[in-house]
Amino acid sequence: MKKYMIILFTILGMIINAQNIKVKRGVINIDGVAVAKINNKSNEYTFMDLKETPIYTIEFVDKSILDSIRDSYIKLNRVYNRDKTLELDYISPSAFSGDEKSAIYTCLKSFKIIDEKGINIKKLDEIFTNAPKRKIEGKLKEAYTLRNKIDKLQLEVNYVGEILSKGKRVGYFTNLPVSFGSNDTIMDKTFVDIEIYDANNKYIGKYITTTKQIKTANGKSFTLYREMSGRASLLKYPTYKSIVERVVIMDPNFIKG
């Protein structure tokens, strides 16, 4: 009985202390009281006091690291002191919240630089003095490690489908479409697989356009992009360079740094 009473009072406490946060015509309200203003341009949100003096900005960054693995974070910057920009994690009130709600929610709940009195300049400066570290874990951390290794190879695919590493020819694609462009995404589903060979004409692997799957000569297979929700759904189709990058991971003997 005591356990249930503790849970009940905890829930009641959360309800009583819950803040009612709303944004109307660019004005941020907490429990019906205007505390700050916000406007946005593209992915950047500017936070202002009620006199419309810009105080700081939050820019949303969403980038591909490797294959369909993406990294999403924010850049925090003070308007009155731009010597330093912070890259930070953000939080959202729900999985379906837009960038504006996520930016405001992060400021109130995570950074606590907005409260019932408005924008807390002292708290904002404290964050820049002792910036919280980003939590990069699991697949994202592994993707960054692999990305660093791949970048050192300086991979390119030229206009005729040759694969270059540090400017040197190390392989090539075959069965390319007539309209091939080295920076194109592979959208067309073809019955003939796109194959990869090394500079000595040794077969390395192939990309199956119907399944977005790579199969290498050493028996490994990997699906580059799957149907996903959210921003990642925009990346259903790989570039020729991204295929080479994944093949290098699957077969380290293909290109050695």
Are 221 and 249 a contacting pair, CB within 8 Å?
no
Domain boundaries, the chain: 16-129, 154-250
Residue type, 73: Y
Q: What is the pLDDT of residue 257?
A: 58
Are 155 and 244 a contacting pair, CB within 8 Å?
yes
pLDDT in tens, 160-200: 999 999 999 999 999 998 888 888 888 877 888 999 999 99
Cα-Cα-Cα-Cα torsion 69, 173, 197, 191, nearest 10 degrees, comes to: 90
Q: What is the pLDDT of residue 3?
A: 43
pLDDT by residue for the chain (257 residues), tens only, comes to 444 444 433 333 333 345 688 999 999 999 999 999 999 998 899 999 999 999 999 999 999 898 888 899 999 999 999 889 999 999 998 878 899 999 999 999 999 999 999 999 999 999 999 999 999 999 999 999 999 999 999 999 999 999 999 999 999 999 998 888 888 888 877 888 999 999 999 999 999 988 889 999 999 999 987 655 454 444 578 889 999 999 999 999 998 75
What pTM does this model have? 0.78
pLDDT in tens, 205-239: 999 988 889 999 999 999 987 655 454 444 578 88
Cα distance between residue 71 and residue 2, in whole Å? 44
Q: What is the pLDDT of residue 34?
A: 95
Tokens representing 85 are 């920009």
Residues listed for the chain: 257
Residue 204, exposed/middle/buried by CB under 10 A (0-12, 13-18, 19+)?
buried
